[in-house]
Amino acid sequence: MVPDDEGGGLMRVDLLGDAIDGLDEALTAVDGFDDVLVGGLLRPQPGQSDGLMGLAEAVAGTPLASRVAEAAEKTAAGAAGEDHFVALAAARTALLGSVHDALAARVEEVVDRPRAEESAGEAAPGGVGDAGRGEETQASNLGAAARSWLSDLARAGWQGIDHDLVAEAAPVVSAMLPDPALRRLATLLDGFAGELAACCPGAGLERIPVRRWADLWSRAMLLTVPGAGSASAGRGEATGRLLPLGVDVQEHATAVQAQVHGVFEPADGGTPRLVRASVSAPKPDTVVGAGLWQVLRPHMSLLTAVSEERVMALDAMPLTAEGDLIWDDGRARMGDSAEVFTTARVALPTAAAFPTAPLDRHPARLAVPVLLEGYAVEEGDDGAVAFEIAGQRLAVDAERAPTAGPLTAEAVASSAACIGLLRWDAGEFLLQPLAVERTVGKKSVAVHAGAWAGGTSDKAGVRAEKAATDAVKVLRERAGKLLRK
Amino acid sequence: MVTDRFISVPPGLGEDSPFVCMGDGALSLWERSSTARVMPSARPRKLAKVPFVELADGRLQGVVSSGSDARRVYVSSVEAGSYAFTCSTNNNRPCGGGRGWFCNHIRALIGEAVLQYGLERVTRYLKVEDPADAPDVHSLTSAMAGTRPAQGDRSTAAQVFSRFLRHLAYLELDPSTAPVPEMQWFPTTRAVA
Ligand SMILES: [Zn+2]
């Protein structure tokens, strides 16, 4: 089939609306289990065993089968131990992994870019932690403490949570945060516990984010298994040019991460690859807006390159088997300017994606850079934005952009071209804008979500920077007086 | 074909399965979203007067700077529902400012909480029924003070203060350039509460 260039670049956007075989069945099993966690497993009701058995049946043909069947049975009888909860979390994760793979395959058809060849020589997936022995013991003790808290959560159910139960996570998180090997689990537990605390007591909740909390619970549960959260053992090196496409910012009350998506062109002339570079930090909850950039900026010169629309030259930058650059400013040099929309039009179609790590196979992890053009904008009464391309409606998450940046929902709604991340949530594909092009007079003007990442001369941006600087100054001053007594 | 990518298409999970009817259809999309936004992020505010505020443990609580002594802070709290209040220094000396009523530290705490979390969330958390036509931080404070709340248990001050120190300790933790895939569940948003 010849792709229709008019209808959204070279993409087969029309395929996004087509049903995917097996998706509903897998999600139904997931939902059945998620509903079980609402009421909790302390005294399971007859209705809850359906959800547990459904999960077990859904993985019946896999190596997990017998462990999960046993776990479902014990749990339905109110006799589950922690290992049984881990088995249930593993089954749910496997099911969502299959959903991820089906969605990723569909996206591959839609974007029609070079296929990711498994770079077997470079890397093998998975791997064991590289922590020292003494640290390993402490790490596994903390992992066990986290597992015990998560098991208590499962017994209480979302409707049974209270302040005392949720507060038990705090000492575990505090002990984990300073250890780089436990940072991922600590960051997850911290965000999860903060959210639960804001929703206590669970008995009073009018609605519950059922899938979300089950996601966070299962993921945390699996990360407590030793070795599960360690960085992949396989590492390559990247030498060549990195052309940024945009920044995706993620934050909860006490953590922030900025992920730069870009195209890496190897110096040896190999296939260009889609890569990410991340920088994250724990933060006090009062550090927000421009404060997020200020926390991250000193650790990744790439944020400046994104703001200034520049290329960076990489010299032996560590690169994981999943396409994550482990950024080191000492291995990067600022290069020439390169307009992001040119990168998206010229380099992006040639770039091949890396495979996803086994544990990361989850629909929420799908974030595929795309360029869309030639769409009609549809604006709902509630301000919701959607693009219509080739007869297909694509929802746009126009609010998913950092507050300390110029990319507003209005800018998205008045755009003619958009670079974004294709995602999937709650049963549909959607687009997270990273940058848009608008026509102002006869000129095309680009607006980037990450325009202020490296700093800004924009008036509102400067004001936000000043406020954030002052806030951190006050906190540091207090910390200086009170913490080092 | 994608069917074979599935671990299995579970038998008994077709349309006539007993839990399909109580599953998907009835529940809203929000409940089936992985990245549903449950908690809006804090709004920026100046921190000099009240460096720490939180809605936690069933209380609005925080730390208020002393107007006169840079080394002294007050630990103040108001309990949800009863509005029982406490105010003492970080060395656990009672605050003499309120004479049985909300002192200025508590008033400042309420004001900054409203800036950080929004009026609606603070009002809901404290379980206040504000009769004002146009509720604001003053009517919220009056609605609570008008019930003549009692003094609360000051022994929680040490706990609040240690939570403040824990909060400050986040500044001392090193950033990392190793990816944290878990943060995919916490998208940023421009939307305000
Ligand atoms: Zn006082």
A95 Cα to chain B: minimum distance (Å): 7
Task: Please state, in angstroms and rounded to a whole number, the distance separating the CA atoms of residues A453 and B31.
Answer: 33
DSSP assignment, residue B10? -
Which one-letter amino acid corresponds to residue B93?
R
CB nearest to B41's CB, from A177, A288, A365: A288
Helix B119-126 vs helix B104-117: crossing angle, to nearest 10: 120
Q: What is the pLDDT of residue A231?
A: 56
Q: Give the nearest chain A residue to B121 (CA atoms).
A: A198
Q: What is the pLDDT of residue A131?
A: 38
Tokens 């040019």 sit on residue = A241
Kindly give the pairing relationship between strand A255-266 and strand A273-282. Answer: antiparallel
Task: Please state, in angstroms and rounded to a whole number, the distance separating the CA atoms of residues B4 and B2.
Answer: 5
Phi, psi (rounded to 5 degrees) for B104: -65, -30
Task: Please state, in angstroms and rounded to a whole number, the distance separating the CA atoms of residues A354 and A275.
Answer: 8
CB pairs under 8 A between A and B: 304
Q: What is the pLDDT of residue A391?
A: 87
Six-digit token string for B168: 């400050």
| Greatest Cα-to-Cα distance within chain A, rounded to the nearest angstrom | 71
H or E element: which one contains A428?
strand A428-440
With beta carbons under 8 A apart, name residues in chain B contacting A452.
none
Beta-carbon separation of B32 and A211 below 8 A: yes
Cβ A206 vs Cβ B35: under 8 Å: no
Q: What is the pLDDT of residue B1?
A: 28
Q: Give the nearest chain B residue to A257 (CA atoms).
A: B183
Residues 117-176 of B with CB under 8 A from A: 164-176
Cβ A252 vs Cβ A190: under 8 Å: yes
End-to-end CA distance of chain B: 43
Q: What is the pLDDT of residue A233?
A: 52
Task: Please state, in angstroms and rounded to a whole number, the distance separating the CA atoms of residues A105 and A114.
Answer: 13
Alpha carbon of A199 to those of A185, A220, B52, B56, B183: distances in Å?
21, 19, 20, 10, 20
H or E element: which one contains A259?
strand A255-266
Task: Please state, in angstroms and rounded to a whole number, the distance separating the CA atoms of residues A76 and A413.
Answer: 49
Task: Please state, in angstroms and rounded to a whole number, the distance separating the CA atoms of residues A81 and A75.
Answer: 8
Bridge partners, A313 (sequence order): A241, A333
B17 Cα to chain A: minimum distance (Å): 10
Phi, psi (rounded to 5 degrees) for A449: -60, -35
Task: Please state, in angstroms and rounded to a whole number, the distance separating the CA atoms of residues A309 and A305.
Answer: 6
Phi, psi (rounded to 5 degrees) for A223: -70, -15
Tokens 């705490």 sit on residue = B109
End-to-end CA distance of chain A: 71
Task: Please state, in angstroms and rounded to a whole number, the distance separating the CA atoms of residues A314 and A242.
Answer: 7
> Among A422, A347, A289, A362, which residue's Cα sits nearest to residue A26?
A362
Tokens 């986290």 sit on residue = A146
Beta-carbon separation of A61 and B7 below 8 A: yes
ipTM confidence score: 0.94
Alpha carbon of B140 to those of B52, B111, B125: distances in Å?
20, 10, 12
Helix A210-223 vs helix A82-111: crossing angle, to nearest 10: 110
CB nearest to B2's CB, from A105, A183, A185: A105
Which one-letter amino acid corresponds to residue A235?
R
pLDDT, tens digit, 9 for 90 and up, residues A55-103: 999 999 999 999 999 999 999 999 999 999 999 999 999 999 999 999 9
H or E element: which one contains B35?
none
Phi, psi (rounded to 5 degrees) for A472: -65, -35
Q: What is the pLDDT of residue A6?
A: 42
Six-digit token string for A452: 């202020």
A80 near B CB under 8 A: no
B58 near A CB under 8 A: yes
Ligand 1 center to A273 CA (angstroms): 59
Q: Give the nearest chain A residue to B90 (CA atoms).
A: A482
CB nearest to A180's CB, from B3, B42, B176: B176
Task: Please state, in angstroms and rounded to a whole number, the distance separating the CA atoms of residues A416 and A412.
Answer: 9
Task: Please state, in angstroms and rounded to a whole number, the distance separating the CA atoms of residues B182 and A185.
Answer: 8
Residues 188-217 of A with CB under 8 A from B: 188, 191, 194-195, 197-200, 207-212, 215-216
Task: Please state, in angstroms and rounded to a whole number, the distance separating the CA atoms of residues A454 and B167.
Answer: 26
**Regions of chain B short of the pLDDT cut 70:** 1-27, 192-193
Residue of A28, A49, A176, A430 for testing the chain B interface, max B β-carbons within 10 Å: A28
Q: What is the pLDDT of residue A485?
A: 53
Kindly give the pairing relationship between strand A428-440 and strand A392-396. Answer: parallel
Tokens 């000193």 sit on residue = A298
Question: How many residues are present in chain B?
Answer: 193
A228 near B CB under 8 A: no
| HSE value, Cβ hemisphere, 13 Å, CA-based, for B58 | 14
What domains does chain A contain, in order, with CATH numbers?
24-223 (no CATH), 235-350 (2.40.50)
Ligand 1 center to A54 CA (angstroms): 56
pTM of the model: 0.91
With beta carbons under 8 A apart, name residues in chain B contacting A299.
175, 177
Q: What is the pLDDT of residue A129?
A: 36
Six-digit token string for A353: 């994606």
The gap from C-alpha A266 to its chain's centroid, in whole angstroms, comes to: 26
Tens of each residue's pLDDT in chain A, 485 residues? 444 444 445 688 889 989 999 999 999 999 999 999 999 999 999 889 999 999 999 999 999 999 999 999 999 999 999 999 999 999 999 999 999 999 999 999 999 888 766 543 333 333 333 434 456 778 889 999 999 999 999 999 999 999 899 999 999 999 999 999 999 999 999 999 999 998 888 998 888 999 999 999 999 999 999 877 665 556 799 999 999 999 999 999 999 999 999 999 999 999 999 999 999 999 999 999 999 999 999 999 999 999 999 999 999 999 999 999 999 999 999 999 999 999 999 999 999 999 998 889 999 999 999 999 999 999 988 788 999 998 899 999 999 999 999 999 999 999 999 999 999 999 999 999 999 999 989 999 999 999 999 999 999 999 999 999 999 999 988 888 877 65
Cβ B10 vs Cβ A57: under 8 Å: yes
Residues 82-111 of A with CB under 8 A from B: 94-95, 98, 101-102, 105-106
Beta-carbon separation of B180 and A184 below 8 A: yes
B12 near A CB under 8 A: yes
With beta carbons under 8 A apart, name residues in chain B contacting A180.
176, 178
Task: Please state, in angstroms and rounded to a whole number, the distance separating the CA atoms of residues A280 and A282.
Answer: 7
CB nearest to B8's CB, from A58, A191, A403: A58
Task: Please state, in angstroms and rounded to a whole number, the distance separating the CA atoms of residues A8 and A381.
Answer: 25
Tokens 């940072």 sit on residue = A183
Six-digit token string for B28: 């809203």
Task: Please state, in angstroms and rounded to a whole number, the distance separating the CA atoms of residues A355 and A223.
Answer: 20
List of residues 6+ apart from A413 with CB closer than 8 A: A377, A379, A385, A398
